[in-house]
Amino acid sequence: MSTDTARPVRIAVDIGGTFTDLQILDARQGIARAWKTPTTPEDPSIGLLRGVGEAAERFGFALSDVGLLLHGTTIATNAVLERRLSRGVLLTTAGFEDVLEINRHVRRDIYGLAPDPFPVLIPRDRRLGVPERLRADGSAERPLDEAAIPALLDRIAALGAECVAVSLLHAYANPAHEQRLAAMIRAARPDLPVSLSSDISPEIREYERTSTTVLNALLVPVVKAYLDRLEARLGEGGFHPLVFLVQSNGGVCSLRMAAEQPARLLLSGPSGGALAAGRLAALLARPNLVAVDMGGTSFDVSVVQEGRVAVITQGEIDRLPVRLPMVEMRTIGAGGGSIAAVDAGGRLTVGPRSAGARPGPVAYGRGGTEPTVTDANLALGRLDPDFFLGGMMKLDMPATRAALEARVGTPLGLSVEQAAEGMLTVTNANLGAAIRLSLFEKGLDPRDFCLLSFGGAGGLHATEVAAELGISEVAFPREPGTLSAYGILFSDLTQDIARSRVMRASPANLAHIAEAIAALRTEADARLAQDGIAPERRRVTIAADMRYHGQAFELLVPWGEVSTPDAGDLAALVEAFHAMHRQRFSYANPGDPVEIVTLRAIATGLLDKPEPGDPPPADRPALKGTRRAFETGAWRDIPVWDREAMTATDTIEGPAIVDEAFATHWITRGWTARLGAAGTLIARHATKGETP
């Protein structure tokens, strides 16, 4: 899929809880530029189109010049978290209607006498049994009783279903019963969306497969309504780009795929940050990065190891398993909008409750009354009340200080400055704990990594969090407040296809393995063709979920572009599994039999990736002056640097503040910072590394 030279502008959009971030790449200028606009939670497409219009006016392009819109969105995530879901019915094999409630019986709080029950999105009266049953090998133990389906359809109508999820026993091995059932439902009710587990997640494990299918079904009407609103607005002002939506795996998909399988969008926006981290790892020659994205409501951690961003085959949202490939990421409720409170025991807490976009922090002047992390940074002088978002928004310092005093300072007997410092200490401890856990669970040492800090709020905390973890280097990419959108700008169209078939990873099964890979490749090629990808721009790689015989979990092992594997290819795959197991769990058992549980094809349609250049430094002094900020127990005059005017010869000595249009960075005492590759600001601890 080549660039439309008649419409040379490409836009990537990441819609967050507080702001909608845009990256605009105009091929005529060869420079990517950033823009931010407040998110409109009532309809995110309003903020998106408004942001595009503002960017067009600011950067001098017409809406008709936009040929490609790559769209990351939290619409699916927020719908699940806020339970704004459709009324659904689940059809499953008779006798298995309670799989969703039985789940895995995982006790997260092992000492809790009254643990919170796991969420169940479809109640018992809307879970209906279908007379049929397949065996694990896909053969029919009980054929589908088609005579019983009309009565089932009447039940669905009486229950007022807006969508239907179908997850029959062992449908991953043979989709015939699900497909026939869907055909009969669609013939009777063509307006009723139907999601099949054999389409959404054709893998073993009934609970996870059913949970994923249910999530998908309940999201179909929600996401379709949003896409309909978006498409209705796309023609305004000559704005009619080709639109792709970002998936949880970091690739993009067509509007058709997004409408049919919206569960693939559940980690849509944050995956862009992980993609950008992978790109920067190569540009900075730093293959080991821990990437942290701190926005208004959340803090996302992803790990780049040896230049690769990890992808997992199962995640969860609000304790609901999602059995789909997604970028591996840990998210906690800690952002600029995280609210501070003092509990009944006199304990200061920060987050996970957030002020969001509306009313937002007290400083925004939109009616917020509870102090947030942004308010704490403003009260300590780290934010300029006259230069927030490059001067687009003025911050209310008097209201911020009053709220901090009333809600935190007075209850704890602290000054406003002490209250704000306490809030940042708690926040930084939470951020450090999330990073530490993300690395320790993989057997990795934080000291071997560079911290890549981005998001609108990340730069204010990065050096202090790094110091707590023993990390001696922090990278602040150019325009960090929109880095997730920057990563989306370079996405490819990606589809994941999986087939579960448990077999020993032995030469005796090479024929079966080759047969499965051939089927995956055929389907991958057909899907890419359906999306209009030319043969020369298609790439298909294979991966395998593998385990030792008797284990209850698998590791995802990449296998490259293998087509017809021989004994040597299989031996290399098994050895890669042993090595991964050893690295993850500190041991391996090379003498034990290894199983392949699921084979996967990653079908990639390569989109053009123009290489943007860096804008020249602004023609003004890099050192702006000083600002009064509270540091090490006293108010001091802190140097303030203009990021956009800096050159490679400038050296920053902490403590210092670095301002740019959509972010502010705090360089802690004892750290030194200079510009590196790709306009990235590299900070190093003065006692632990040489000046960059």
Each residue of 660-684: pLDDT tens digit?
988 999 999 999 999 998 889 999 9
Q: Is the pLDDT of residue 338 over 70?
A: yes
Cα(137)–Cα(500) distance, integer angstroms: 11
pLDDT-wise least confident of 96-105, 162-171, 309-318, 597-606: 309-318
| CB contact set of 17 (below 8 Å; sequence gap of 6+) | 39, 41, 74, 78, 295, 296, 297, 298, 335, 337, 354, 356, 357
Cα distances (Å, whole numbers) of residue 494 to 352, 393, 612: 33, 38, 23
Neighbours of 689 (CB within 10 A): 14
Q: How confident is the model at residue 114 (pLDDT cuts 50, 70, 90)?
A: confident
Q: Contact at 8 Å (CB) between 289 and 449?
A: yes
Residues in the chain: 692
Q: Is the pLDDT of residue 630 over 70?
A: yes
- Using one digit for the tens of pLDDT, what is the confidence trace for 510-535? 999 999 999 999 999 999 999 889 99
Nearest to 166 by CA among 583, 153, 541: 153
pLDDT-wise least confident of 123-127, 145-149, 177-181, 231-235: 231-235
Q: How confident is the model at residue 269 (pLDDT cuts 50, 70, 90)?
A: low
Q: Is the pLDDT of residue 612 over 90?
A: no
- As to burial, measured by CB atoms within 10 angstroms (0-12 exposed, 13-18 middle, 19+ buried), residue 596 is buried
pLDDT at 522: 96
Please name every residue paired with 134 in a beta bridge, in sequence order, or none if there are none. 140
Share of the chain above pLDDT 90, in %: 70
Rg (CA), the chain: 26
pLDDT at 690: 45
**Mean local confidence (pLDDT), 382-394:** 85
Nearest to 478 by CA among 11, 32, 21: 32
**Mean local confidence (pLDDT), 288-294:** 94
pLDDT at 380: 97
pLDDT at 288: 95
Q: Residues 353, 354, 357, CA angle at the centre, nearest 5°?
A: 155
Q: Contact at 8 Å (CB) between 473 and 13?
A: no
Cα distances (Å, whole numbers) of residue 265 to 101, 167, 322, 457, 483: 25, 20, 11, 24, 19
**Mean local confidence (pLDDT), 490-499:** 92
Q: Is the pLDDT of residue 479 over 80?
A: yes
pLDDT at 692: 40
Nearest to 598 by CA among 521, 525, 513, 526: 513
Q: How do 163-167 and 194-196 pair as beta strands?
A: parallel
SS (H, E, C) 54-80: HHHHHHCCCHHHEEEEEEECCHHHHHH
Cα-Cα-Cα-Cα dihedral of 195, 226, 13, 42, to 10°? Answer: -130
Neighbours of 385 (CB within 10 A): 15
pLDDT at 691: 40
| CB contact set of 450 (below 8 Å; sequence gap of 6+) | 284, 286, 288, 289, 290, 471, 473, 474, 475
The SS3 call for residue 559 is: strand
| CB contact set of 326 (below 8 Å; sequence gap of 6+) | 248, 249, 266, 267, 271, 311, 312, 315
pLDDT at 392: 77
- Using one digit for the tens of pLDDT, what is the confidence trace for 404-419? 999 999 999 999 999 9
Q: How confident is the model at residue 126 (pLDDT cuts 50, 70, 90)?
A: very high
Cα(671)–Cα(649) distance, integer angstroms: 17
Q: Sign of dihedral through CA atoms 138, 142, 143, 147?
A: negative
Q: Check whether the bond before 115 is cis (ω within 30° of 0).
A: no
Q: Is the pLDDT of residue 29 over 90?
A: no
pLDDT-wise least confident of 93-107, 109-123, 124-138, 439-453: 109-123
Neighbours of 73 (CB within 10 A): 26
Q: Is the pLDDT of residue 2 over 70?
A: no
pLDDT at 333: 81
- The tokens describing 262, both together, are 């919206």
- The tokens describing 196, both together, are 């099949």
The one-letter amino acid code at 583 reads Q
* Residue 645 DSSP symbol: G
Cα(596)–Cα(594) distance, integer angstroms: 7
Can you list the alpha helix ranges (DSSP code H) found in 235-267? 255-260
* Residue 344 DSSP symbol: T
- The tokens describing 477, both together, are 């990419």
Cα distances (Å, whole numbers) of residue 579 to 308, 502, 576, 589: 16, 21, 5, 10
Nearest to 242 by CA among 254, 250, 251, 230: 254
Residue position matching structure tokens 């989306």: 488
Cα-Cα-Cα-Cα dihedral of 583, 584, 590, 594, to 10°? Answer: -140
Q: Sign of dihedral through CA atoms 105, 111, 113, 119?
A: negative
Q: Check whether the bond before 639 is cis (ω within 30° of 0).
A: no
Q: Contact at 8 Å (CB) between 463 and 486?
A: no
- The tokens describing 341, both together, are 């409170």
The helix-helix angle for 462-469 and 416-440 (nearest 10°) equals 50
Q: How confident is the model at residue 423 (pLDDT cuts 50, 70, 90)?
A: very high
Residue position matching structure tokens 């942290």: 292
pLDDT at 135: 95
Higher pLDDT, 214 or 274: 214
pLDDT-wise least confident of 1-5, 127-131, 454-458: 1-5
**Mean local confidence (pLDDT), 342-369:** 88
Q: How confident is the model at residue 361 (pLDDT cuts 50, 70, 90)?
A: very high
Neighbours of 343 (CB within 10 A): 9
Nearest to 89 by CA among 156, 40, 29: 156
Average predicted confidence (pLDDT) for the chain: 91
pLDDT at 451: 97
